[in-house]
Amino acid sequence: MPLKISLLTKIMTSFIDLLTTLSITLCGPGCCGCCSALRPRYKRLVDNIFPASPQDGLVKSNMEKLTFYSLSSPEKLDRIGEYLFQKASRDIYRRRHGFVIIAMEAMDQLLVACHSQTLNLFVESFLKMVQKLLESTDPQLQILATQSFVRFANIEEDTPSYHRRYDFFVSKFSAMCHSNHSDKDTREKIRLAGIQGLQGVIRKTVSDDLVENIWEAQHMDKIVPSLLYNMQTAEKYETVSCMETDTRDGMEDDPPRLAEACLRELVGRASFGHIRSVLRPVLTHFDRHELWVPNDFAVHTFKIIMFSIQAQYSYSVVESLLRHLDAGAGTRVRAARAAVLSNIVAFAAGDSVGPSVLEIINNLLTNLRASVARDSEKESDEKLYQDALINALGEFADHLPDFQKIDIMMFIVSKIPNQRGKATKADFRLQSILLKSLLKVGTTYKTTELSKAFPAAFLDALLRLSSAGEAGTRALLQRILHTLLDRRGNAPALAVPTVDYAELGLIVEKCSRPDLIFISKHGYAIFSSLYDGLQLESNTTENISAIYTTLALLCVELASEETVCDMLQLILSIQQSALSNPVLSVSQQCALHAVALALAALVPHVLVLPRLADYVAQIIEARREEAPHLLPPLLEDYDLSPSKMPNKLPYLMIDQMALGECLKANGVEARLQPAAPYAGSALAHRHSWVEAGAAQGRDSLADISAGPNTELDSANSSPGVQRHAGAGGESVSLEALRRAAGGPSDAERREAERRRATLNDTFRTAPFDHLLAITQPKYEIKEKLEEIFNSLSEEPLLGAGIGGSPAGKPTPCAKYFPELFLY
C-alpha cells in the first residue's frame, strides 16, 4: 500500500485528485469498510462491482444492486456515470486494463437498463468513457470502446441532445479505418471497429435533424473515403443488388463487406440534398487513389450506390458523374469514367422522367461534341472515350420506354450538324459519332409499327442524311434504318445480297394495315432516297450492300401485294441506272445489277408469286452461266473483258414486260394495272420515277381518305415529298448526260425497229404462253425496245395521248403490255 501511494503521489499533482485516489484506494474492495460509511451510497455501490482481481470479472450480484439502485433513483445516474468514468480514467492511466474493461461493461449494462427518459443524464459520461478508451493506444480498448459505442448507437433516444458532438468520433473512427497496425489480425479488427463506429455515428445522427449534421462536408470527407478505402482492399468485387445478410448488427467479419454495407446504408438514407455530399468525396477518392483505370472498383462502387440510393434520386448520381467526366484528367481516365457511367446509367433510366432524361442525353451529347472538338493527340484513347459515351447513351436509352426512345432519336438527329454548308473534318466526325449514338439508341428500340418508329420529321431527317458526304456515314445511316426496320430479326440474314433465300430462314409475316398506310405515304420518299443513295460515285461495296439490306428489309417487312409493284419498279430503276448512270464505275454497275436481281429474287420469296420466281430463277441461271459478275456476292473489284461489260449483256437483264406478265399470272394485276402507265416511265429514268411517286402519292391519298385514318393525309404536304420532287429536277441533267454518253447507234435503232415490227405482229396474235416462251431467249430485242421506250418517254404528251385513246377499248394486248401498246 505505501508503495502504491508513493507511486500515485508521483503521478498525481493535484491535491484534490490525490485525496480522491486515496479514499478510493482505501475504501476499495479488499479494504476495511471503516470509511465506507462516509462515502455516498452510489459510490459504494460502484466500488463494489469491481472484483479484487480483474481476472474475476464483474461482480454480478453487486452489479444487479447497482442497476436496481440506478433504476429506482435515476437522478443519481449522472453521478454514477461520472464516478465510473473517473475510476476508469485512472485505471487507463495505470494501464490496469482489466478494471477498465469491467467499468465499461458496467456502463454498458447501465445504459441498456436505463429508461430512455433518464438516459440523457448518463450518456455524457458514457461517451466520455468511450472517448477515453478510444484515445488509448491499446487496440483492445479501442475495439471495446467501439463495441460500446455501437450498442449505444442502436438505442433509440427520445430526447434530442442538442449539445452532443460526434466530431471526435467521426475523426477517430475514420482514423481507425485506416489502421496500419503491424499485426494483420489486429489491423483487421481495428479497421472493422472503425467501420462499425462510423456506422454507429451514422445511425445515431442521420435520422435526427437536431443533432449534428452528418452530411456536412467535414464529416463526409472522412467517412466516405474511409469506407471506400476498406472496400477497395477486397480481393474481388462481387456486386449484388442487395445484401442478403442482415447488416443491422454489423456482424460481417471482414472490413470490405462491412464497409460496403455501411456505404449502402449511408447512401440509402441520403435525401436529395445530401446525395451530392456523399458523391463528391467518392469522386475525389477515385481521383486521388487513381481508381478509374482500371475501373472495376469504380464500377462496383457506383453500382452499389445505384442499388442502394432511393430510386427517385438515382439520376443525380448520373448527373454528378457526367459533370465529373471532364474534370482535369487524361483521356484514359475520362474513358474509364464514361465506362463507369455506361454501367450505371441504366439504373437511372427507369426512374428518370421528363426533363431529366433529355438533360442527361444532352449532357452526354455535349461531352461527345467536346471530345470531337478536342482533337486529342491520342486518337485511340479519345475514341475509347467516345465509344464509352455512346455506350452509356445506348444503355440509358435501352431502359427508357419506347416512346421516349423516339424522342431521344429525334433529339440526337436535331444535333447532327447540317452538311449543307462547308463541312469540316470535325463536322464529319461529329456526324458519324452522333449517328453511332443514334444507332446505339435505335438498337434498343423495338419497332412495332413503322409509323411510330418513323415520325415524319425523323424520317425526313434520316433520309436527308442518307445522301450525306462520307461513305462511312451513309453506311452508318443505313444501319440505323436496318435496326429500326427489322422487326423480325431478318437483318443478319440479309446483310449481303444473295439470290438463295430459301436457306436463310427469313421470317415473313403479313404486312399490317397501319404499315401499309405508312408505306403508301412515305414509301416513295424512302425508295427515292435509297435510289439516290445508290447513284453516288463514292459508294463502296459496303454502301451498296447496306442499301440492299434496307430495301430487302422493307420488302420483307412490307410484304404485300400492294407494295410489290413499287418494289419491282424500283428494282427496274436500279437496273436501269446501272446501265445509264455515267458516274458509276464498272464494279458499281455490276453491284447494282446484282442488287437488283437479288431483290427481284426476294420478292417472290416473300409473296407467293411462282411465275415471277421462275422468271427470276431463269435470269439467275443465265447469268450464272454467262455473267457471274452480275450476281451476288458483291466484289470490291471486277476484272472484266469488254464483252462481259454489263451493258453488253442486255439479254441478261430483268425485263419489265416479263415482270408485269408474271405478276398478272399470279393475280396481282389488279393493283398493277392502274399503276402501269407510270411503271413504264419509272423504268426509264428517275425523272419519271419521281412523277410516278407523285402519282402513287395521289393514289394512296385516295386510299387513305377512303379508310379510317383520314388524319394521315397530310402526306402530300410533308416536306420530304416536296423535297424529293425538287430533287427530281436535277436528275434531268443526269439523264441528258447519260444519253449524250452512250445512246444506241442509228443502225442499232433501225435494226430494233425492224424486229419490233415482227415482234408486234407476233405479240398480237400468239397466245400468252407461247409468247413468253419465245420472248425469253430474246432479251436482246427487248432491251433495245426498252431503250427506245426510254427515249420515247421523254415526250410525256405523246405517251398520254396514245395511252388515253385505247383506254376506252382496251385490247388484251394493251392491257398486259401497255408499253408495247403505247409505242
Partner 1 sequence: MEDYKFLFKVVLVGNAGVGKTCLVRRFTQGLFPPGQGATIGVDFMIKTVEVDGEKVKLQIWDTAGQERFRSITQSYYRSAHALILVYDISCQPTFDCLPDWLREIEEYANNKVLRILVGNKTDREDREIPRHIGEDFAQRHGMYFLETSAKEAENVERLFMEIAVDLMEQAKCKELPKYDGSLGPLNGKTTSVNDSSCCLRS
- CA-closest candidate to residue 734, choices 577, 590, 526, 591: 577
Instruction: Tell me how many degrees the CA angle 682-472-491 measures, rounded to the nearest 5.
Output: 65
Q: Which is nearer to partner 1, 188 or 713 (CB)?
A: 188
Q: Choose between 13 and 61: whose C-beta lies nearer to partner 1.
A: 13
Residue entry with cell 427496274:
572
CA dihedral 716, 595, 749, 792 (to 10 degrees): 0
Closer residue to partner 1 (CB): 169 or 454: 169
CA dist 174 and 171 (Å) reads 5
Nearest approach, Cβ of residue 184 and partner 1 (Å): 13
CB 26 to partner 1: min, Å: 12
Q: Which CB, 90 or 782, lies closer to partner 1?
A: 90
Angle between helices 15-27 and 2-11 (to 10 degrees): 150
DSSP-assigned letter for residue 777: T
Q: Which is nearer to partner 1, 4 or 165 (CB)?
A: 165
Return d(Cα 295, Cα 278) in angstroms, integer.
19
Shortest Cβ distance from residue 75 to partner 1 (Å)?
A: 15
Give one DSSP letter per residue of 370-390, joined into a string: HHHHH--S-HHHHHHHHHHHH
Write down the least CB distance from residue 58 to partner 1, Å.
21
Q: How far is the CB of 32 from partner 1 (least distance, A)?
A: 18
Return the number of the residue (221 or 542) whose C-beta is nearest partner 1.
221
C-alpha–C-alpha distance, residues 139 and 176, integer Å: 10
Record the cell numbers describing residue 609, joined without a space. Answer: 408469286
CB of 146 to partner 1, least distance (A): 14
Q: Which of 386, 277, 304, 383 lies closest to 342 in space, CA to CA?
A: 386
Cβ proximity to partner 1: between 24 and 438 the closer is 24
Residue 751, helix vs strand vs coil: helix
Contact 336, 298 (CB under 8 A): yes
d(CA 457, CA 714): 12
> Rounded to 5 degrees, what angle do the CA atoms 507, 508, 514 make?
130
Supply the minimum distance, in Å, between the C-beta of residue 135 and partner 1. Answer: 5
CB of 337 to partner 1, least distance (A): 17
For 93, phi then psi, to 5°, come to -60, -40
Q: Is the Cβ of residue 65 or residue 178 nearer to partner 1 in the bound state?
A: 178
Name the residue nearer to partner 1 (CB basis): 284 or 362: 284
| DSSP codes joined into one string, 113-128 | HS-HHHHHHHHHHHHH
User: Is the Cβ of residue 222 or residue 784 nearer to partner 1 in the bound state?
Assistant: 222
Buried b (16+ CB within 10 A) or exposed e, 226-251: bbbbbbbebeebeeeeebeeebeebe
**Smallest distance, Å, CB 125 to partner 1?**
9
Nearer to partner 1, 14 or 55 (CB): 14
The three cell numbers locating residue 336: 474509364
Least Å distance between CB 119 and partner 1? 18
24 versus 564: smaller Cβ distance to partner 1: 24
Helix (H, G, I), strand (E, B) or coil at 80: helix
Considering the complex, what minimum distance in angstroms separates the CB of residue 27 from partner 1? 11
Q: Which cell goes with 335? A: 474513358
Give the closest residue to 129 by CA, choosing from 94, 174, 74, 86. 86
Nearer to partner 1, 175 or 675 (CB): 175
- Is the CB of 222 or the CB of 324 nearer to partner 1? 222
- Distance from first CA to last CA of the chain, Å, rounded? 136
Query: How far apart, in whole angstroms, are the C-alpha atoms of residue 788 and residue 419?
Result: 39
> Which whole-number Å values give the CA distances from 87 to 18, 27, 102, 701, in the listed order?
13, 13, 11, 98
d(CA 388, CA 368): 10
Question: Can you give the length of the chain in residues?
Answer: 823
CA–CA separation, 236 and 453 (whole Å): 43
Q: For residues 233 and 414, which CB has a smaller minimum distance to partner 1 in the complex?
A: 233
Residue whose CB is less far from partner 1, 178 or 664: 178
Query: Quick check: bond before 633 cis, omega within 30?
Result: yes
Please state the closest distance from residue 180 (CB atom) to partner 1, in A. Answer: 5
Cα(595)–Cα(527) distance, rounded to whole angstroms? 14
Summarize as ranges the residues that interact with partner 1 (CB under 8 A).
Answer: 13-14, 16-17, 19-20, 23, 40, 82, 85-86, 89-90, 92-93, 124, 127-128, 131-132, 135, 137, 163-169, 171-172, 174-175, 177-180, 182, 217-218, 221-222, 225-226, 229, 281, 284-285, 288-290
- Please check whether residue 363 is in contact with residue 322, taking contact to mean a CB–CB distance below 8 angstroms: yes
C-alpha 679/C-alpha 543 separation (Å) is 27
User: Smallest gap, in angstroms, from Cβ of residue 263 to partner 1?
Assistant: 15
